[in-house]
Amino acid sequence: MWQLFQFPLCPFSRKVRLLLGEKGVGYTLIRENPWERRDEFIDITPAGQTPVMTDEGRDIKLIDSLVICEYLEETVEKAQMINGTAVQRAEIRRLAIWFDTQFFRDVTEPLLGERMLKRIVTKTGPDAKVLRGAMKAAIDYLDYTDYLLDRHNWMAGATLSLADLAAAAQISVADYLGGIDWKNHEATARWYSGMKSRPSFRPLLSERMEGIPPAPHYDDVNF
């Protein structure tokens, strides 16, 4: 049985959970707060980052969310999420990596820092300027996803792909933390409503991070 080391607001763990859900692969959750740098976790992964997925029975240890996703694509036939020609597959990977790195760096990471880590670790208030910067960056990103979704139904083309899962993972954490202004982003809002309705997304929507309530509209499919 797979074990996934993660915490509720880890966007990279969310991407893996969405993929596991779409593929119908069972797993158990292990709660891991990477900022605590627990010795046993550092032994598993020197980088100390979630998610990590292990199967002790088969002595398999997978580190890094992109590595886990590629592994699942290669080993589980159901619900292929990196599909199509080599060029289409490149576009799926480009967008997934773009959300994982650029969107994370500019939006999700500063929101997590100000609204989660400061509350849990340093017990200080958020920096309003950093929050404003992250929310302003989110608007630019959603302008671009609007552009993508005006051209086709899903982020990278005509079908659901890893790009949508990566996008939904990042956006859902930013939305939980009140960082997304949905005004004037109809195409992305319609797409996100569809993502929220998927059975793979339900377990994420009902989860809460202790001490950090989500934005009021967070789990509403018709937000």
Give the interface segment with its own copies, choosing from 5-13, 88-96, 118-126, 192-200 (CB under 8 A): 88-96
Closest CA to 103 of 77, 71, 140, 130: 140
Q: Which of 1, 24, 127, 144 touches its own copies (CB under 8 A)? A: 144
Q: How many residues bind its own copies (CB under 8 A)?
A: 23
Determine the Cα–Cα distance for residues 185 and 190; give it in Å rounded to an integer: 9
Half-sphere exposure of 125 (CA within 13 A, CB side): 3
Residues from 195 through 214 that contact its own copies (CB under 8 A): none
Assess 78 for contact with its own copies (CB under 8 A): no
* Radius of gyration of the chain, Cα coordinates, nearest whole angstrom: 17
**Cα torsion at 206, 211, 217, 222 (round to 10°)?**
0
Residues from 96 through 125 that contact its own copies (CB under 8 A): 97-98, 102
For the four alpha carbons of 221, 84, 21 and 7, in that order, the dihedral sign comes to negative
60 vs 121, which CB is nearer to its own copies?
A: 60
Give the interface segment with its own copies, choosing from 33-41, 58-66, 113-121, 185-193 (CB under 8 A): 58-66
Query: Can you give the binding site for its own copies, defined by CB under 8 A?
Result: 46-47, 60, 62-64, 66-68, 70-71, 74-75, 86-87, 89-90, 93-94, 97-98, 102, 144
